[in-house]
Amino acid sequence: MEEHVRAAVRVKPSEEEEPSCLKIIEGSRVRAPARDGKGHATFAVDRVFDETASQEAVLEWVKPAIVDVASKGLNATVFAYGQTGSGKSHTMGFEAATLFGPDAGLVPRAAEALFDALAATRRSLVHCSFLQIYGDKVLDLLATDDTTNLVVRESRSETAGFDHKRIFVQGLSEYQVTSAADVLGLVARGLRGRATRPTDMNSRSSRSHAILQVAVEVETACSREERRDDDDDDDDDEWDRASLDSAAASSPVKQRGGGRTVLRRAKLCLVDLAGSEKWSPAATADAELAAELKAINRSLSALGNCFAALCATADHVPYRDSTLTRLLEDALGGRALVIATVAAGRSSLEETVSTLAFAQRAKNIKARLRFDEVVNDAVLLKRARREIARLRRERHHHDARRDRDLEEARAAAAAAPAERALGKLCFELDVARDRAAAADAAATAAIAASTLLEAKVDPHPPPEFLGIDIDSPLLRDRQKYPRLGTMRRAGAATLKNACRAATEAAAKRERRRERANRRGATTRERMHHY
Rounded to the nearest angstrom, the gap between the alpha carbon of residue 186 and the centroid of all alpha carbons in its chain is 37
Alpha-helical (H) ranges within 457-482 are none
Residue 496, number of CB atoms within 10 A of its CB? 11
| Phi, psi angles (nearest 5°) of residue 318 | -75, 65
Rounded to an integer, what distance in angstroms lies between the CA atom of residue 378 and that of residue 224?
11
Closest CA to 3 of 258, 368, 379: 368
Q: What's the CA gap between 355 and 462, in Å, rounded?
A: 141
For 143: left if phi > 0, alpha if psi spans -120 to 50, otherwise beta; the answer is beta
User: With the CA atoms of 197, 201, 204 and 209 taken in that order, what torsion angle do they form, in degrees rounded to the nearest 10?
Assistant: -70
The secondary structure of residue 165, as a DSSP letter, is E
C-alpha–C-alpha distance, residues 351 and 349, integer Å: 6
Residues in the annotated binding site:
82-89
139/380 Cα distance (integer angstroms):
37
Q: How many Å apart are CA 321 and CA 306, to the nearest integer?
A: 9
Which residues sit in the known binding site for ATP? Answer: 82-89
In this structure, are residues 336 and 15 in contact, taking their beta carbons and an 8 Å threshold?
no
Cβ atoms of 207 and 274 within 8 Å: the answer is yes
The Cβ of residue 72 has, within 10 Å, a number of other Cβ atoms equal to: 13
Using only C-alpha atoms, the chain has a radius of gyration, in whole angstroms, of 50
Would you list the DSSP string of 12-44?
A: EPPPTTS-B--EEETTTEEEEE-TTSSSEEEEE
Angle at 306 between CA 321 and CA 164, to 5 degrees: 85
Query: 31 vs 24, 42, 350, 355, 362, CA distance in Å?
Result: 6, 4, 13, 13, 17
